[in-house]
Structure 1
Amino acid sequence: MHILLVASAFNSLTQRVHAELRDRGHSVAVHIALPEAAPPAPAPGPGAGEPRELPGDALRAAVARHRPDLILAPMLRTAIPRDVWSAHTCLIVHPGPPGDRGPSSLDWAVHEGVTRWGVTVLQADERMDAGAVWATAECAVPPVGKSDLYRGEVSDAALAAVLLAVDRFASGTYVPLPQREPRPGEAEEGPYRTRPYFRQELRRIDWERDTTDAVVRTLRAADSQPGVLDELLGAEWFLHGGHPEDTLRGRPGELLATRTGAVCRATADGAVWIPELRARRLPGEPVPVKLPAVLALAGRLPELPDLPEVPARGRSWTDIAYREEGQAGFLSFAFPGGAMSTGQCRRLLAAYRAARARPTSVLVLGGGRDFFSNGIHLGVIEAAADPAAESWANITAMDDLVEAVLCTTDRLVVAALGGNAAAGGAMLALAADEIWCRSGVVLNPHYRLMGLYGSEYWTYTLPRRVGPALAERLTTEALPVSAEAARRLGLVDRTTACAPQDFGQETRRFAVRLAASPAVSARIAAKKAARDRDEAVRPLAAYRAAELARMRGTFFDPQAPYHALRRDFVRKAPATGTPPHLARAVPERRRVTGLDASDGAPGPVGCYQEG
């Protein structure tokens, strides 16, 4: 079938649906639905207060151009016009179980602490989220942030429901089930209800009275957007992310300590770690950038103890940790949004060198449930006094880390991707000897949507894995690749179908078995010999110099598109249209590789990173 994806942004779920529908032989195109001027409000009366349709001329034109068999909306904030959904089957992915309605479904689920949730694929009609149901899927709700949940369990459930709905539509015989209308009293209670937008007034934290668990739940329900508006050190900030702390105590609301860029703030019965802050926007000012909390508070922060990276026992938080089991070492890291600043790269490199000094035969990088890495930290770069100089410092720090991985010849290194990876983060994974992915992972092994040539030794590692021709296509076509397609391409070595919460345990099991294998010594010796041969043909330093020459030219050219693209990305500039590389249909004949034949230039909307 030819499927048109209509989305408000090419976000993580839209990317996954795009990639996995292509894997299954469907032709897929994308239309980015932009907000348009709404028509005059209707006169008071029946129907008043219901969502108003937008004009939708751009969507009508896209539908007329593509003539899709099916329209599918994985993430849509605007209504589809009546003349479109009445003429075409339009399926909407709602991140809630049947009967749940409203624009803040996951916010409410996390805020209320539910343990089970679901996703519903329903048909667009007159009322928002009230159309006939084509498919549903349930999922667990672990104690994680909303964005992590969305990219993990909700994404798995959504994909299962989407594939079932697409198959049912393709059969031509399935009749979707109408939703039951709520009975009296169910508007506020029970499973059949429309809940309001989760406004900031509902997110307020009472530091004097709220427990640590209550504060963490409030923070997680707003992660990574919109954050929780709060007052701190004489200014208003949006707080992003929340992790419980059991040991530190203080006066509720007081800042107690810092660790790796985060601040610890006292609650009524404990404390929480807050990794990131974003200033409140002032009238006439650009959208502020989300930053590590200590950096955001620079100049305001009082003298506080800076705690070591490895926390004490009990509930606490750190972004880098190391442990061992048998002959396997595990170096885990979890940076908000997958972005890695200069300082984070340097700290991870120091931790990697310390792990490399341990007597292990296998070293696992990653293994967490969310983002592996998305490369350089565009937010910190944008906020720097000299963004060009900070870009340069950040990319050289990334290169130092990747070089250390590539030059590890006394053990096997495994990159374990429980979550998505893009740009330099995907290339960091390629430096390892093996790449293991959870089946729900999406890879974006390219840089061009940010106007960059790329570094991290990609010109050595990517062709080494997939060959020069495919490496060229992956980096120029700039399309997301599913974990299973990546395995078929040779981009990754192992995919594991498991829940996000189980990936760490699965990785541990595989790594311990690999380290105990009698063949591991021979593999390490063969790896060292191969590295020596490659070095003799062309030294790693030559790859690095050639890549960085291109990157330096971009960073220090004020007219380079990178600067505007970076600024628009981190400051959430509204999209201006659908990029050509997404608007073109990906033909079925390319489904084996999962790649698009297009060579169009990228537009302003892409899939470089997610905050």
Structure 2
Amino acid sequence: MRILLFIHGFNALSQRLFVELEALGHEVSIEFDIHDDNTREAIKLFQPDLVLAPYLKRAIPRDIWENTRCLILHPGPLGDKGPSALDWAILKGESHWGATLLQAEEEMDGGPVWESRSFAMAERPKSSLYRSEISDIAVASVKDALKRIEAGEASPRRLSKQDEDVTGNLQPAIRHKDRVIDWKKDDSETILRKIRSADGVPGAQDGFFGRSLYLYDAHRVSDEALLILNAAPGAVIAKSGFALCRKTKDGALWIGHMRDPHGEHGFKLPAALVLEADLDKELSEVGGYPTICSHRIGDVTHLHFPFYNGAMSTSECEDLLAAYREAAQQDSKVIVLHGGPDFWSNGMHLNVIEASNDAANESWRNINAIDDLAEAIIRTESHLTVAVMHGNAGAGGVFLARACDQVWLRDGVILNPHYKDMGNLYGSEFWTYLLPRYAGEENANRIAEQRLPMGADEAAMLGLADKVLSNNRAFFASEVDEQVMQLCEANVWSNLIDKKIKQRREDEAIKPLSTYREEELTRMRGNFFGFDPSYHVARYNFVHNIAKSRTPITLARHRDKRYQSGAAHRSTHKGYGT
């Protein structure tokens, strides 16, 4: 089937649908919702059998849905309508929620229903629910609907007020004032829901030191000393790295990130950077904010680093390297690097770089700090190393994971193993060593040039991953534990260690690791300090969320002249070698 993905932005859900539909053999192209005339032109060029809209902010024009079947994903249960479905569900503390696939008609979210599924709500931010539960049931719903359409069962369900399973209703667009925090009146749970309901976009509005800020990345505080501290609600009472602890009327909360729309930098940043000039210099530094942590179970050291949105600043890379070196000093056998639940890593922290006084120099510091970590992992001879990807990874994060001896993916994870969309950035993290080694020279070049997301099965087929485990998050964790224990078996572990050391020494004799690093960083220095400003322009546009004026040709294949001439291979014909 020929499917046009019609989207506002190529987010995690859109990427997963793209990957899953292509894996099923469908012919998929993408058009951003920029202007109605662009959309009409895309329809004319691609002539899709179906338009699928998983992420839109406005209605599809009538003349399009009247002539081409258009399916809309709405993040709410049967009968739910309105642009703020998941926001309200979190704010109201719903125990269950859902997603509904319906056909576009005149009434927004009011068309006949193709599929609808529900899930138990977890206590996580809106953006996290979109990437996980919503994404899972959206993919399942789309697959089932396509099966029905292909089988000729083109009869979606018309809802009636009398239907007992219709639990949703029309809800208004949520407003900033619906989430404004009152630290004197709101308890910790209420504040947490307000921030989580707005995490991602637009953030929960609040006042800090007379400034109107937007808050993100909120977590409960468990430290008893902070919970019972006698301070006024709203007071900043401690910090943990760049996170700030703020007193509530019944406890305290960590606030990890903020945005000051009227400040020098109007984008999201670690909280202490936003308020650096206002904070008490004597503010206590304590632990508790969920960042780098490790624990050991028998012969296995687990290292977790749930960095917000997978971005790794210079200081975070340095801290993670210190934690890794400490793990490597233990007499365990395996080090497991977990990343976070939503992202393993997305490489450099572009927001922190953009906010620095010298973006080129901060970029240079950041890439060297990541390279230091990647090199330490590659050179480890005392332990087997495993990157366990619970969540997605992009750019340098993909190759940082591949620096490990084993890479295990949860089924459903999406990788973006390329740098070029960030202003033709060359990339480092020893990708010129790791990618040919695991994927082969021919595939390495194609992967680097594709600029397209990749699913878990494709990553394993190409050598970017070694195992694909369960999509079920609870089962995935138990599978990881089981697989790691197998690596710890004496004969298995010693054989793999010997093979690893032998391979590394052979590779070093052919071309030293330092040479790969020097060559990559020479190219990166040109990106950062050279005459071509493409990287700096692309980073600025990304950080400031500048809307695209056109859909990139790599996504809008219907606009690719090779496609129009029949020369561009589609879908499963990506041209990879075997």
Q: Same fold (TM over 0.5)?
A: yes
Q: Which residue of the partner structure matches residue 206 of structure 2?
A: 230
Unaligned residue ranges in structure 2 (runs of 5+)? none
Q: Which residue of the partner structure matches residue 6 of structure 1?
A: 6
Contact 1:8/1:78 (<8 A) preserved: no
The alpha carbon displacement at 1:440 in A equals 1.4
Which one of 502, 510, 535 corresponds to residue 562 of structure 1? 535
Q: Which residue of the partner structure matches residue 272 of structure 2?
A: 294
Per the normalisation by structure 1, the TM-score is: 0.89
Q: Secondary structure at the match of 1:31?
A: strand
> Using the alignment, how far apart are the partners of 1:163 and 1:486 within structure 2?
21
- Does 2:296 match 1:318? no
Which one of 235, 254, 265 corresponds to residue 273 of structure 1? 254
Distance 1:298 1:165, change over 3 A: same
1:312-342 C-alpha deviation (Å, 9 max, x unpaired): xxxxx32111001111110001111111000
The alpha carbon displacement at 1:393 in A equals 0.4
Q: Secondary structure at the match of 2:340?
A: coil
> Using the alignment, how far apart are the partners of 1:593 and 1:344 within structure 2?
39
Which one of 430, 437, 460 corresponds to residue 487 of structure 1? 460
> Using the alignment, how far apart are the partners of 1:108 and 1:502 within structure 2?
30
Q: Name the amino acid aligned to 1:507.
A: V
> Using the alignment, how far apart are the partners of 1:16 and 1:594 within structure 2?
17
> Using the alignment, how far apart are the partners of 1:368 and 1:66 within structure 2?
38
Q: Which residue of the partner structure matches residue 258 of structure 1?
A: 239
Contact 2:101/2:115 (<8 A) preserved: yes
Matches for 1:22-37 after TM superposition, within 5 Å: 22-34=22-34, 36=35
Which one of 200, 203, 208 corresponds to residue 184 of structure 2? 208
The alpha carbon displacement at 1:487 in A equals 1.6
1:31-83 C-alpha deviation (Å, 9 max, x unpaired): 0011x5xxxxxxxxxxxxxxxxxxx1111110000001111111111211111
Q: Which residue of the partner structure matches residue 302 of structure 2?
A: 330
Q: Which residue of the partner structure matches residue 500 of structure 2?
A: 527
> Using the alignment, how far apart are the partners of 1:526 and 1:112 within structure 2?
55
Q: Which residue of the partner structure matches residue 513 of structure 1?
A: 486
Distance 1:500 1:570, change over 3 A: farther
Contact 1:369/1:500 (<8 A) preserved: no
Q: Which has the higher contact order (CA 8 A, sep 6+)?
A: 1
Q: Which residue of the partner structure matches residue 324 of structure 2?
A: 352
1:368-414 C-alpha deviation (Å, 9 max, x unpaired): 32111100000001011100000000000010010011011121100
Q: Secondary structure at the match of 1:142?
A: coil
Q: Secondary structure at the match of 2:435?
A: helix
Which one of 163, 172, 175 corresponds to residue 199 of structure 1? 175
> Using the alignment, how far apart are the partners of 2:538 and 2:246 within structure 1?
35
- Does 2:91 match 1:97? no
The alpha carbon displacement at 1:299 in A equals 1.1
- Does 2:144 match 1:164? yes
The alpha carbon displacement at 1:137 in A equals 2.1
1:106-137 C-alpha deviation (Å, 9 max, x unpaired): 11111122232211111000011111111122
Number of corresponding residues: 564
Moved more, 441-450 or 300-309: 300-309
The alpha carbon displacement at 1:504 in A equals 3.6
Q: Name the amino acid aligned to 2:281.
A: E
The alpha carbon displacement at 1:497 in A equals 2.1
> Using the alignment, how far apart are the partners of 2:127 and 2:257 within structure 1?
14
- Does 2:10 match 1:19? no
> Using the alignment, how far apart are the partners of 2:38 and 2:302 within structure 1?
49
> Using the alignment, how far apart are the partners of 2:39 and 2:399 within structure 1?
36
> Using the alignment, how far apart are the partners of 1:92 and 1:358 within structure 2?
52
Contact 2:71/2:101 (<8 A) preserved: yes
Q: Which residue of the partner structure matches residue 218 of structure 1?
A: 194
The alpha carbon displacement at 1:234 in A equals 2.2
> Using the alignment, how far apart are the partners of 1:181 and 1:93 within structure 2?
21
1:566-601 C-alpha deviation (Å, 9 max, x unpaired): 00100011111100110005899654466799xxxx
Identity over the aligned pairs, expressed in percent?
Answer: 43
Q: Name the amino acid aligned to 1:209.
A: K
Q: Name the amino acid aligned to 1:115.
A: S
The alpha carbon displacement at 1:559 in A equals 3.7
Q: Which residue of the partner structure matches residue 48 of structure 2?
A: 68
- Does 2:345 match 1:370? no
> Using the alignment, how far apart are the partners of 2:573 and 2:395 within structure 1?
19
1:398-442 C-alpha deviation (Å, 9 max, x unpaired): 100100110111211000111110001111111011111111110
> Using the alignment, how far apart are the partners of 2:444 and 2:576 within structure 1?
13
> Using the alignment, how far apart are the partners of 1:593 and 1:490 within structure 2?
18
Distance 1:303 1:295, change over 3 A: same
Q: Name the amino acid aligned to 1:200.
A: H
Contact 2:237/2:284 (<8 A) preserved: no
Contact 2:313/2:349 (<8 A) preserved: yes
> Using the alignment, how far apart are the partners of 2:474 and 2:179 within structure 1?
27
Contact 1:368/1:503 (<8 A) preserved: no
> Using the alignment, how far apart are the partners of 1:279 and 1:446 within structure 2?
31
Contact 2:5/2:51 (<8 A) preserved: yes
Unaligned residue ranges in structure 1 (runs of 5+)? 37-55, 312-316, 598-611
Distance 1:91 1:135, change over 3 A: same
Per the normalisation by structure 2, the TM-score is: 0.94
The alpha carbon displacement at 1:445 in A equals 0.2
The alpha carbon displacement at 1:306 in A equals 4.3
Q: Name the amino acid aligned to 1:386.
A: D
> Using the alignment, how far apart are the partners of 1:127 and 1:151 within structure 2?
27
Which one of 538, 543, 548 corresponds to residue 511 of structure 2? 538
Q: What is the alpha-carbon root mean square deviation over aligned residues? A: 2.1
Contact 2:82/2:170 (<8 A) preserved: yes
Contact 1:257/1:304 (<8 A) preserved: no
